[in-house]
């Protein structure tokens, strides 16, 4: 990631926010489904629109095709150990569809509001699973994940869809989640957290002086009988198709 950041020219600017995703979703974001895109923290800029700190401390996340396009991330993401985890979960033809390196930068790391991953990664029937690796210790202080026990059995609440004109929007308003039901998923660097697609999770702002790097990859079933929804935001360019693990 250090090497990717060193090569990145911060003049190609896109701010990532989960608060008003619909307005901030632009072509750069949509293109990142088949590319390695860089998204800034909302609080990275001063009033003049200049970065307050070096680019390395200003990026919110990098995504969403690291697992295919970057040789280092590709090797890790498609390792026999990862394949073994997916097999053990019952996936017949696991297809990794997106990957993200999230920085949760010191002092300015933005919150990720409560959501279900299947809202963004939809198949029929539902099959999304998230693999989330703590690359640094994650605690309440530096913005660890919070999850809600049992909620994955309560169904998918809404979808984030792309219309034919390329406009993306939610089909329903957000659920008023009971914030007292969330539990912190504090963990040490190296921990793998598996996120059921209908689990609800969030992470708070990081106002601490310590970063909280993580890598996550989302996988769906691609064996016959499961279909990728054509109105998902992420669609691959035909010259760069998705590639299953095997099968
Ligand atoms: O790392 C975070 O703060 C959120 C990540 C997330 O929502 C995911 O990987 O599905
Ligand atoms: Fe998520």
Dihedral, 131, 134, 140, 141 alpha carbons, nearest 10: -150
Task: Write down the ipTM of this complex.
Answer: 0.99
Per-residue pLDDT of the chain (247 residues; tens, 9 = 90+): 999 999 998 876 655 555 555 545 578 889 899 999 999 988 998 888 788 999 999 999 999 999 999 999 999 999 999 999 999 999 999 999 999 999 999 999 999 999 999 999 999 999 999 999 999 999 999 999 999 999 999 999 999 999 988 889 999 999 999 999 999 999 999 999 999 999 999 999 999 999 999 999 999 999 999 999 999 999 987 888 889 886 4
- Ligand 1 within 6 A of 221 CB? no
pLDDT for position 133: 98
> Distance, CA 202 to ligand 1 centroid (Å)?
7
CATH superfamily of 2-228: q2cbj1_9rhob like domain (2.60.120.620)
Q: How many other C-beta atoms lie within 10 A of the C-beta of residue 238?
A: 7
Q: Where are the domains of the chain?
A: 2-228
To test the pocket of ligand 1, the residue of 97, 102, 213 to mutate (highest count of ligand atoms within 8 Å of its CB) is 102
Where do runs of H (alpha helix) occur along the chain? 2-7, 21-24, 27-31, 66-69, 71-77, 80-88
To test the pocket of ligand 1, the residue of 132, 143, 212 to mutate (highest count of ligand atoms within 8 Å of its CB) is 132
Nearest CA to ligand 1 atom 9: 216
């Amino acid at each position: 990631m250090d090497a990717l950041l060193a090569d990145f020219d911060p003049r190609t600017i896109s701010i990532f926010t989960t608060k008003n995703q619909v307005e901030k979703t632009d072509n750069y974001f949509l293109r990142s489904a088949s590319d390695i895109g860089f998204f800034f923290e909302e609080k990275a800029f001063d009033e003049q629109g200049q970065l307050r700190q070096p680019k390395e401390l200003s990026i919110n996340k990098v995504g969403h095709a690291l697992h295919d396009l970057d040789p280092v991330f590709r090797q890790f993401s498609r390792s026999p150990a990862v394949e073994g985890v997916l097999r053990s979960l019952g996936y017949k033809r696991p297809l990794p569809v997106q990957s993200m390196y999230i920085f949760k930068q010191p002092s300015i790391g933005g919150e990720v509001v409560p959501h279900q991953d299947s809202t963004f990664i939809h198949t029929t029937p539902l099959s999304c699973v998230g693999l989330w690796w703590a690359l640094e210790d994650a605690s309440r202080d530096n913005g660890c994940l919070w999850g809600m026990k049992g909620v994955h059995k309560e169904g998918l609440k809404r979808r984030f869809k792309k219309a034919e004109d390329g406009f993306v929007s939610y089909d329903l308003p957000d659920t008023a989640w009971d914030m007292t039901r969330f539990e912190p998923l504090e963990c040490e660097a190296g921990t793998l957290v598996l996120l059921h697609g209908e689990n609800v999770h969030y992470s708070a702002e990081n106002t601490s002086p310590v970063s909280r790097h993580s890598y996550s990859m989302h996988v769906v079933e691609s064996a016959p009988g499961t279909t990728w929804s054509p109105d998902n935001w992420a669609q691959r360019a035909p010259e760069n198709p998705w590639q299953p693990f095997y099968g």
